Structure 1
């Protein structure tokens, strides 16, 4: 069996301009970002189901002091069987070329797409 190449997953704000090398552009937010038209977003998909739950998002409140706990809780949400098919679909997209995960979140280093990117790179669970 040949080793698979690492997935090329990038993280950007949906407010940043789309670029030719973005590859597949997927929005990972439950709510549509304010002030962004569907044309400007240039999305290939909008995956609300892989965004953190509303309860987790409210608890976190984008407080960097809660990031590590948030990341652990979000990983547990992503490990739920109902999300496996969506994760597999994103991994398949990333195997065909670059995948750019988009979010409206301002603080990308403490955002959910950073966690999701790491989960995708780790591969399917057990």
Structure 2
């Protein structure tokens, strides 16, 4: 299963496969046609409350714990399962505007997708 995380501001690559925006808000300064996004499942993104808490100084470990709890909700769990099925068929690239993707919700999603094969 090939799942990777990239910044949405990077140029698309041929091996990106399915390009999935996993941010709740559209990235600033990026035209939708230039983003080459295939899916934008907002139900997989952290809630506004959690996002604001984390950006207000919350720890990554606590954020991760709270975000994983949000992903247990029926809508998010269904979307996560659908994304997992897509990843079994071919490469999936999770796109985020985060300046530190390795410490973001996108990396949490990638690990969850890879871990439940």
TM-score category (smaller protein): over 0.9
Pair 1:41-2:35 in alignment:
yes
TM-score (norm 1): 0.87
Give the greater-gyration-radius structure (CA): 1
CA RMSD of aligned residues (A): 1.5
Q: Is the 8 A contact 1:56 1:74 kept in 2?
A: yes
Determine the C-alpha separation between the residues in 1 that align with 2:38 and 2:116.
22
5 Å-filtered alignment, 1:1-126, equals: 7-61=1-55, 63=57, 66-123=59-116
Determine the C-alpha separation between the residues in 2 that align with 1:118 and 1:23.
18
Instruction: Say which SS state the counterpart of residue 45 (structure 1) adopts.
Output: coil
Please list the CA deviations of residues 96-118 of structure 1 after superposition, one character each: whole Å capped at 9, or x if unmatched.
11100001111112111000111
Q: Higher mean Cα deviation, 20-29 or 75-84?
A: 75-84
TM-score (norm 2): 0.93
Task: Kindly tell me the number of residue pairs found equivalent between the two proteins.
Answer: 117
Unaligned 5+ runs, structure 1: 1-6
Shift of 1:62: 6.8
Determine the C-alpha separation between the residues in 2 that align with 1:62 and 1:120.
27
Q: Higher mean Cα deviation, 24-33 or 78-87?
A: 78-87
Instruction: Say which SS state the counterpart of residue 17 (structure 1) adopts.
Output: coil
Runs of 4+ with >4 A deviation: none
Instruction: Say which SS state the counterpart of residue 11 (structure 1) adopts.
Output: strand
Shift of 1:86: 0.4
Q: Is the 8 A contact 1:25 1:101 kept in 2?
A: yes
